[in-house]
Amino acid sequence: MVPPWPTFLMDSFQFAQQSQFNSNESAYYGPYTRLLYHLFGVDGPYEVIPRYHVPLIPRESLDVIALFTVEVDKRPVMFIEVKPVASLTANSQRKYADSQMRDYFRDIRHKAVIPHVPGISAFGTRIAFYDYNAATHAVTPPAVPADPIRLNDTAPIERWNHDLLEPEGAARFREIVDQVKTMCQALMK
């Protein structure tokens, strides 16, 4: 079977997947940076901007939010939020990740220059695809409202049903990048 990415990327992600890094989200910063530069290039109009945010609200552990935003002329056209793979199984961590994705769309919507801005939530290499429609201001997938009485899963684990290192997940990721490039090229004409 042919790997979905070049060897240097596969090696980078596979190194980050070692068990000693399961709770360390920074293990994936390098691989995701390399992936974005591989797909968007270094000599074109795209810039990959890492952003790190430490929430003001204290939590049980320090939770640094890592966002990698792809920009054209300082305008966001795509972003990836990276979390440690060990957090995927915790309902509260998925809920928090989903909320952060929606908050970031709120923060960047006034800067949107393309019709759709994709966002990707990553727990290690497990990824969920989000989309902001600039015309309707809608985010997909739709939010799952919290039940006022019963505890329900507001960010189902099935949302992260793609693995970046498997052919289907890699193909979907490439498709998103190609769509972003097409939308950006239409702007530059």
Tens of pLDDT, residue by residue, the chain (189 residues): 789 999 999 999 999 998 888 777 789 999 999 999 999 999 999 999 998 766 655 555 555 568 999 999 999 999 999 998 999 999 999 999 999 999 999 999 999 999 999 999 999 999 999 999 999 999 999 999 999 999 999 999 999 999 999 999 999 999 999 999 999 999 887
- How many other C-beta atoms can be found within 10 angstroms of the C-beta atom of residue 16? 21
* Residue 12 · residue 32 · CB < 8 Å: no
Give the integer Cα–Cα distance in Å for 185 and 45.
10
* Residue 141 · residue 119 · CB < 8 Å: no
Radius of gyration over every alpha carbon of the chain, rounded to an integer in angstroms: 16
Give the integer Cα–Cα distance in Å for 101 and 162.
17
Give the integer Cα–Cα distance in Å for 129 and 140.
8
- What pLDDT was estimated at residue 187? 85
- What pLDDT was estimated at residue 40? 97
- What pLDDT was estimated at residue 53? 65
- What pLDDT was estimated at residue 36? 98
